[in-house]
Structure formats: structure tokens, C-alpha cells
Structure 1
């Protein structure tokens, strides 16, 4: 093997770990077609058709589960390591799917969604940490976007399966992904940084050699870059050994750790990105795809509309994986935020003209085009890249805690947005609601342009130094 190593095992690890995010994506997409069956007169539930109130709780409870999973699995990631924490996520992921076919009332579905959401909270918290700690600087962006790409693939999978199978059959089919995940991910080693952090330096070096595909080369034959990575692991071991004691240094994080200027700035940038990820309204509006198509006078049936939207998102996320290491994170985020605002503005103008009583049926394609344009550019940047950027800009010591706090904020905003959007539409109208989200999207563009650093190809140390 060349001393330069290779990246094939990093790609293999990223693909293996994200099998579970395919399953979580299917959780997100499951209500789209399943609610049509569960709200019908011949609903399979013993309590009869789902009411609108029940639908709201079943749909949004996945976010509350995500909040719980964020707290639980971030704690586990430091206690038992990234790998075994991720392995344990297969359990709630499997349980969430298995409960659904046996559900006899809305509460059973709410419990299933909460448990499945907990696995999702772990995915969006621990997988970015895992990838950031094993990936080379030159491919970290591509591997980081795999999380949202596979999640969107899961959404499309649920839409397509829901078109051909009933809600219980979909659950059984997707539940098999938990076993596929365990079978594939079982063979991946722990991340080098975590092993060094707990003073297992020899295992850390073996892990680094595995992920860099240099398992048999002696250190003196390695490239300068890889020798530097090995040296960093040994430095981590030394600083941990010189610390006061025991596990506190490895896992204890205090408020003082956030007080240092650059660390505080990194956290605030992450807070802004995560907040705008939800405040742009794209994720909340996804839950109203059928209503948007209906208002536009589209003849496309709701299940087919959902499939089309899912593929648009998937295409946008794939575009992000192709461009993220070429154009950089900041440019994609900026273009995404501006594009979302423009797409929403077109939708809002059409809706406002409808309210004024103007004859706009000739332009019924405008809201559909605006919605599709919005979702495509959202997937390219603002819905996919914040998770990558926050894992890149956070110092290693506070990375787990910071991502836990930021993801908790995301789940809370997401829950509120999904629950409150009907109230916004009622009080502001569809046009007012969309204009509100458009103004927040343009605000996100200003924030990104002013505060967000470019992280492409840079180490965490270099990124922090640039803040």
C-alpha cells in the first residue's frame, strides 16, 4: 500500500453507519401515505379514523423523541464510545417500527413515533461526531452530507413503499434495516480520537491506520500528514495522563469551557445555523405538501405528490455531496438560503393574488415550481450542511456537549413549527405565513455571509484559529 493511505474504509464506514439514518428517514416519511389509510372510514385502528388532533400528535411526537434521543445518546457516546452508542440505536429504531403494526389506538402510534424519534435524535447527534473524528480533512464534507442524503433516501423509500403497501407492511419491510445496520457496522472500529481521549493510544493508532488504509506501514514510511495525525493522538494521550485524574478530564465539560472567546463564537455560529435550519420553514412546510399542491389546483394525487417532492429533496442532497468539497460549505449555504427565500416569495405572491381575487389560474404552476425550487436548494445547503459545519467548528472537548445542546434546540423549534404552522396560516393566511418564512430565509443568508467561516479542507485547529 502507498504511504499516502486511502479513503475507501472511510467511505465504507460512512455508508455503514448511515444505514440507520435510512430507517429514520422512513420514519419521517411514513405519515405521508399512512395517514391516508389511518384517517379513512375503514381505518384499521380500533378507535376509528385518526382525528386532525391525533395526526398532529403522531406527526410531531417524533421531534420530542428526537430531543430525548439527543440527550440520551450524546451521554452514551462519551460513556461507552461512538461505535457502541450507535449500535444501541438499532434497538429503539427496531422497536419503533415493530410497534406500529400492532397499534390499536393513536397512543400506540404516538409511543412508536417517540421511540423511533429517539433513534433519530441519536443519528443527528452522534453520526456527525463519528464522521468528524474519523474522516480526512479533504473528504470530511462529502462524508458528512451522507447523513442527510441517506435520511432523504429513507423518506423516498417510505413514500414509494406506501404507494404499493399498507402501513403495517411498510413497517415490517423497513424494520429489516435495523438488522442490516448491525450486520454491516459491527466490524467498524471505534474512532481514533475517542480511543486517544480515553488513553487507549495503541488502539487509537490501529483505528487511524484502518480508516486511512495504512494498516501495515511502519510510521517512518507514512506521509507527513499521517505522521502528524499519529502525533496528535499521542499528544492527546499525554495531556490526558497529565490531567488530574480520571474520567472527569475525558468526559467532564464545564461552562468555563464555553467561555473562551473562539469556542463561544463557534457555539453561537452553530446555534444560528441550527435555528435557521428550522426557522426557514422548509421542514415544517413539508408536512403540508398535499395542501400546497391542492391550493395550486394540481391534479396530482397526494401520494404521488409526496414521491415527487421526496425525489426533489434527494436530488438536492446528492448535489450537495458532489459540490460540498468543490465549492465549499459557505457558498452552498448562502446560495441555499437566498434560493429558499426566492422560492417562498414566489409562493407568497401567488397566494396573495389569490386572496385579492385576481385571476391566477393560468399561473397555477408558480407555487408548485416555487415549492420545488425551495426544497431543492434547501436540500443543497440549509437543510443538510449545518450538521456538518457544527461538527467541524467545535473543539473536540466540547463537541459532544455542544452538539447535544444545539440538537436539543433544533428538536424544540421543529416541534413548535410543525404544531404552530396551522395557527399561523389561520391568523396570517398562507401568503403571510410563507412571507414570514421568506424573511427568515433572507435573514439566514445575511447571518451566513457575515458570521459563518469556510471549513472546506481545514482541520479543527485551523478553523478555530480563523474565527
Structure 2
């Protein structure tokens, strides 16, 4: 529910900015300028950076459950600001809070899902983060096209309140409880999340899981806790390799060009001679995103993470190169009207294949490969890199396209995807169905 609500946040700007910059704006202060609209779009990144840092600290001290419940408060406030907005400053504050919540969600939820899931379903459960986020984006596009401005905030406020109430009844994750030496609560948490009863066989499974988690968190010396992070954990394997993988996947997530594609939606449909409205075009994009992330959730525990990342990265590169060649020939004055289906086809393919892995699975893989001691810091650090890169892409994409041309920008993003694919082939281990200890051994 929380990622779905955040997905609505991500998709809200597309139809709403069109309305807010028009004469029909719902703001009493009047319509906003395009410069103000650009700040509405980009302030979410600043909020996310603060959310990453703050919730990275909070989760290490207070676990996963309490921070998730806390996140519902700024979510409700942010949408109340939109519901009762009098001028653009209400929207600025709302978008900053929206980003703050998003930063928290992408730090906490991947770790939460990874810690409660058994190895067999960990991939599917982890992939639902982006799947539900994309569903929320699609909902925002549909609401923006078919309902009034105030329907979206009412929907998300209701969804978030229900989520907060439900989260109250869930136990904390076993890993955090063991870190706190609350072993009896950890056993009950394992029983709850793995649906184990009081039978002898189930009791042995619980004790085995407790022992596995304790061995990951404590040194070999009995009675001495070694759960605090040290500099040596960052510069030695497996921590060094895991951090490098996380940083590359975070950069690839933003520099693959998909963010650029979504910003050029109207241009691409216009190039193809489409008569569809911008909002209807956005709905089509939302459906493609959802289908791609749904495919990932079904494939991730069958084909594996590494295979999907390689296919996704190379597929994006192929689609971007195809689109780049079309735009390059068009800029040279070559007659390409016969092939005006290429922009839409390439665009749709890139968005679809990107959601197989590059856009949907980095958060899962980062939570899987990071050692227990680095999980809170490492996840937060990788998300800070992701959101910083997102802000740079938003602000400097027009300058990049003006300097290199649209086709040059596509070729640059394609190069990033191909080089990342080589890195993944050489250094990223396959984590499908593997236990924590097996993954750590592969990183050494």
C-alpha cells in the first residue's frame, strides 16, 4: 500500500502540471509558470535525499515496523497540502514531503521484504515493491484523466490510513529482533512470517533460522556481539564487492535513459504523428510499465536476477540505439515518414524491457547482496546516489540534448547500459534461491 501510494505521487505530476499551468487551474492564486512546474517536479528528489539519510539512521535504531508506520504521517500531511492548496508553495511543501516519504520507502521496504521472506519467494516478494509502485503511477494517470483534481489526494489519504492501521498488527522483522537480543520475539516473528506452528518440525525450523541469523550478526567468539559496522567491512570483501554492485545498479537505474524517455513522452508520440492526448499517452506508458514489472515478478525466481539484468540492460541499449538512429537520420533531413512507427515502438520496448530488471530489481538485489552489518548504511548510501543522479538528470537533460542532440543523448545512455551489462556479467553473482551465507561466499 505504501509503495502504491508513492507511485501515485510519482504519476501525479504528469496530468496535474498540465492542469495547473492552464487557465482552469484549481489554485486560488492562479495558474503556475513552467519554472514553478519544474520545481514541483524536482523537489521530490531533495526530499528523497533527506528521507534516505534519516531513515537509514532510524531503521538501524528502531527496526522496520515503527519507521514504516511513521512514514504514513508525512504521507497524509503531503496530500492534505494538495487537497487544501492555496498557492504554489503548498505544492512545493507537498512534493518535498512526497520525496521524503519515497526516500524512506526505498530504504526500508526492500530490507523489510528481504528479512521476512524465505529464499524461495524472496525474489517475487522483493519485486512487488516496483510492481505496486508502477500500479500507483498508472492509477495517477487514470485519475488525472477521468476524475477531478481532488480525487487523487482523497484516495491516497484513505489508502495510507488503512496501511498504518494494518502495519500496527505486524511483528518486527526477525533480524532486527535478534540484533536487539529479543530472541523470544524473534522466534514468534519467524513463526508469523513463515506461517509455522507449534509442531516439532516447525520448532526445529524456527531454531535453525534463529541460529542462521545469529551467525550472520555475531562474531565467532561466544558472547561477544560484533554487530556494529566498521571501516574494514567497507574495504574488505564481501562488503566492498556488495557496495560496488549496489552503486552500479543505482546509477544504472537512472542513467539507463528510461527517465529521459518518460520526460520525452509527448515528443515521441508527436514524432510518430499520434493524435492521442498527453494524458492518454501517459496512461499507455503506465500500462507498459506495469506489464514490464509484472513480467519481472513472474520471471525473477525462475530465470534469476543476473540473467534478467543482462537481458534488460542490453534490451534497453538496443531500443535506445534504434530510436537514436531514427532521430539522427531525421535531423539529417532523410525521409523517414515511412518508418514513423519506430519512435512509439522503440519507446514502448525500452520502457517494457527496463521494468524487467533495471527499473524494478536494483532494490531487491542491493538488499540481498549487502552483508547484515552494512545493510542499513549500504542501502541508504545507494539510494542517496540514485536520487542525486535523478536530480541531475531532471535538471541537466535539456542541456545534454542541446549539446549532443536527442540522438547523441540516446547513444550515451545506450553506452551506459552496455558497459553496465558487462559489469553485471563479470562481477554480480546470481542470488536466486541462495541463502545469505551462500551469497556472501560468492562475493568473496
User: Which segments of 5 or more consecutive residues in structure 1 lack a partner in the other structure?
Assistant: 1-18
Q: Does 1:301 align with 2:283?
A: no
Q: CA offsets, 1:3-43, max 9 Å, x none? A: xxxxxxxxxxxxxxxx1100000000001110111011232
Q: CA offsets, 1:383-425, max 9 Å, x none? A: 0111111100011111011001110000000111011111112
Kindly state the Cα deviation for residue 238 of structure 1 after the two structures are TM-superposed. Answer: 6.9
Structure 2 Cα separation of the partners of residues 237 and 263 of structure 1? 14
1:370 maps to which of 330, 334, 346: 346
The answer as to whether partners of 1:201 and 1:233 remain within 8 angstroms in 2 is no
Q: CA offsets, 1:103-130, max 9 Å, x none? A: 2332221210110111111111100111
2:232 maps to which of 256, 269, 276: 256
Q: Which residue of 2 aligns with 1:12?
A: none
Q: Which residue of 2 aligns with 1:222?
A: 202
The answer as to whether partners of 2:15 and 2:144 remain within 8 angstroms in 1 is yes
The equivalences for 1:412-451 within 5 A come to 412-451=388-427
Q: CA offsets, 1:238-280, max 9 Å, x none? A: 7598337xxxx65x42322212222111111111111111111
2:212 maps to which of 232, 239, 242: 232
The answer as to whether partners of 1:29 and 1:158 remain within 8 angstroms in 2 is yes
Kindly state the Cα deviation for residue 430 of structure 1 after the two structures are TM-superposed. Answer: 1.4
Q: Which residue of 1 aligns with 2:3?
A: 21
Q: Which residue of 2 aligns with 1:461?
A: 437
Kindly state the Cα deviation for residue 146 of structure 1 after the two structures are TM-superposed. Answer: 0.6
Q: Does 1:136 align with 2:118?
A: yes
1:391 maps to which of 363, 367, 378: 367
Secondary structure in structure 2 of the residue aligned to 1:104: coil
Shifted more, 372-381 versus 46-55: the winner is 46-55
2:244 maps to which of 268, 271, 274: 268
User: Which segments of 5 or more consecutive residues in structure 2 lack a partner in the other structure?
Assistant: none
Q: Which residue of 1 aligns with 2:69?
A: 87
Q: Which residue of 2 aligns with 1:110?
A: 92
Structure 2 Cα separation of the partners of residues 139 and 128 of structure 1? 14
Kindly state the Cα deviation for residue 223 of structure 1 after the two structures are TM-superposed. Answer: 8.2
Q: CA offsets, 1:349-380, max 9 Å, x none? A: 11111111122122111011000000000001
Structure 2 Cα separation of the partners of residues 113 and 78 of structure 1? 26
Q: Which residue of 2 aligns with 1:38?
A: 20
The answer as to whether partners of 2:172 and 2:189 remain within 8 angstroms in 1 is yes
Q: Which residue of 1 aligns with 2:327?
A: 351
Secondary structure in structure 1 of the residue aligned to 2:355: helix
Q: Which residue of 2 aligns with 1:7?
A: none
2:255 maps to which of 260, 279, 286: 279
Kindly state the Cα deviation for residue 75 of structure 1 after the two structures are TM-superposed. Answer: 1.3
Q: CA offsets, 1:210-249, max 9 Å, x none? A: 111113224xx238765421322455787598337xxxx6
- With over 3 angstroms needed to count, the CA separation of the structure-2 counterparts of 1:227 and 1:354, relative to structure 1, is same
Shifted more, 117-126 versus 176-185: the winner is 176-185
The answer as to whether partners of 1:82 and 1:130 remain within 8 angstroms in 2 is yes
Which 4+ stretches in 1 moved above 4 angstroms?
223-227, 233-241
Kindly state the Cα deviation for residue 139 of structure 1 after the two structures are TM-superposed. Answer: 0.6
Q: Which residue of 1 aligns with 2:265?
A: 289
Kindly state the Cα deviation for residue 45 of structure 1 after the two structures are TM-superposed. Answer: 2.7
Q: CA offsets, 1:310-341, max 9 Å, x none? A: 01000000000101000000000000001101
TM-score by length of 1: 0.91
Structure 1 Cα separation of the partners of residues 122 and 182 of structure 2? 24
The answer as to whether partners of 2:20 and 2:27 remain within 8 angstroms in 1 is yes
Q: Which residue of 2 aligns with 1:153?
A: 135
- With over 3 angstroms needed to count, the CA separation of the structure-2 counterparts of 1:362 and 1:53, relative to structure 1, is same
The answer as to whether partners of 1:95 and 1:116 remain within 8 angstroms in 2 is no
The answer as to whether partners of 2:47 and 2:99 remain within 8 angstroms in 1 is yes
Structure 1 Cα separation of the partners of residues 315 and 203 of structure 2? 42
The answer as to whether partners of 1:292 and 1:368 remain within 8 angstroms in 2 is yes
The answer as to whether partners of 1:348 and 1:434 remain within 8 angstroms in 2 is yes
Kindly state the Cα deviation for residue 101 of structure 1 after the two structures are TM-superposed. Answer: 2.2
The answer as to whether partners of 1:204 and 1:233 remain within 8 angstroms in 2 is no
Shifted more, 269-278 versus 257-266: the winner is 257-266
TM-score by length of 2: 0.95
Alpha-carbon RMSD across the aligned residues, in angstroms, is 1.8
Secondary structure in structure 2 of the residue aligned to 1:456: coil
- With over 3 angstroms needed to count, the CA separation of the structure-2 counterparts of 1:46 and 1:452, relative to structure 1, is same
Q: Which residue of 2 aligns with 1:76?
A: 58
Structure 1 Cα separation of the partners of residues 215 and 58 of structure 2? 25
